[in-house]
Structure 1
Amino acid sequence: MRWDAFLKEVQDRGEYGTQLEAERAARTVLALLGAHLVGEVRAELAARLPETFAVILLNPLKAAEPLPADRFVRATAAWIEGATEQTATWDVSAVLSVVADAAGTDLTRRILLQLPVGYDLLFGHPQPT
């Protein structure tokens, strides 16, 4: 997916006033996501993202352990100035739903297998319980 198309989708889904807001959310969420994905799955996802975002995904923030979805949202809020858990949930969902579209169904399923329960909703792909 191209840079402009990716950011336009994030901006539309996140209802951001500017592309800069969408980019800030995307950079933060992808840096945190990269810390939770490993191996071939992370590499495949990076190959489907714009180059700048692929680099962010492949050089992630360090995570000691996989964060449950609610803690992932709180971590996102901590990295975005002025964000609350509610706005961070919006940011995460806007970015991860575009990531899911770029990844496609099979790769998104494999991504979700590497993440703790609860991320399916953030990706916009609810899984049956």
Structure 2
Amino acid sequence: MTRHRRLIQQVRTLGRYPSDEEAERVLTAVLAVLGSQLTGDERCELAATLPERARAVFASQIPLPKPVAAPAFVEAVARVLNTSLTAARWDASSVLAALASLGGERLTDRLLARLPRSYALLFGRADLTATAAA
């Protein structure tokens, strides 16, 4: 099984999608939106971990000067997939959790440090920063 197929299978399992085609459609959409959010070393390191087809989608996006907050990210995913915000949140979380698994804990920590704090839940992590500061 190719690396790309394994990633699709992981997204399909996490998102409980009915087919590989649906999982790949969601993966492509989320990677396209994520590609507009990341810059610097983290962008390069994530791209290096992705299978070639996924890397091409991610790397072809021009990054924004500053990443948007998670709700705006989810809205962008909803627009690309032409779906509801609830479905887009599920889709984004399914893909980002798969990417967290693929990239490992260290890269995920670095990605979350680069993105607005509100992304932690989308990556399948609790956002304990506010609790720790209290």
> TM-score band, normalised by the shorter chain?
over 0.9
Three-state SS of the structure 2 residue aligned to 1:112 is helix
User: Does residue 76 of the first structure (1) align with residue 81 of the second (2)?
Assistant: no
Distance 1:61 1:20, change over 3 A: farther
Q: Which residue does 1:67 correspond to in 2?
A: 68
Unaligned runs of 5+ in 2: 130-134
Aligned residue identity for 1:60: Q
Q: Which residue does 2:48 correspond to in 1?
A: 47
Unaligned runs of 5+ in 1: none
Q: Which runs of 4+ in 1 moved over 4 A?
A: none
TM-score, normalising length from structure 1? 0.93
User: Does residue 114 of the first structure (1) align with residue 114 of the second (2)?
Assistant: yes
Question: How much has 1:100 moved relative to structure 2?
Answer: 0.3
Whole-angstrom CA distance in 2 between matches of 1:32 and 1:63: 10
- Residues 36, 114 of structure 1: 8 Å contact kept: no
Q: Which residue does 2:35 correspond to in 1?
A: 34
Aligned residue identity for 1:99: L
Three-state SS of the structure 2 residue aligned to 1:118 is helix
- Residues 66, 115 of structure 1: 8 Å contact kept: yes
Aligned alpha-carbon RMSD (Å): 1.4
- Residues 32, 61 of structure 1: 8 Å contact kept: no
Q: Which residue does 2:89 correspond to in 1?
A: 89
Whole-angstrom CA distance in 2 between matches of 1:41 and 1:128: 22
Max Rg structure: 2
1:63-102 CA distance string (max 9 Å, x none): 3542110111011001103x10000000000000000001
Q: Which residue does 1:104 correspond to in 2?
A: 104
1:36-84 CA distance string (max 9 Å, x none): 1112111111111111111111111553542110111011001103x10
- Residues 42, 57 of structure 1: 8 Å contact kept: no
Aligned length: 128
- Residues 93, 122 of structure 2: 8 Å contact kept: yes
TM-score, normalising length from structure 2? 0.89
Structure with more helix by fraction: 2
Whole-angstrom CA distance in 2 between matches of 1:126 and 1:73: 17
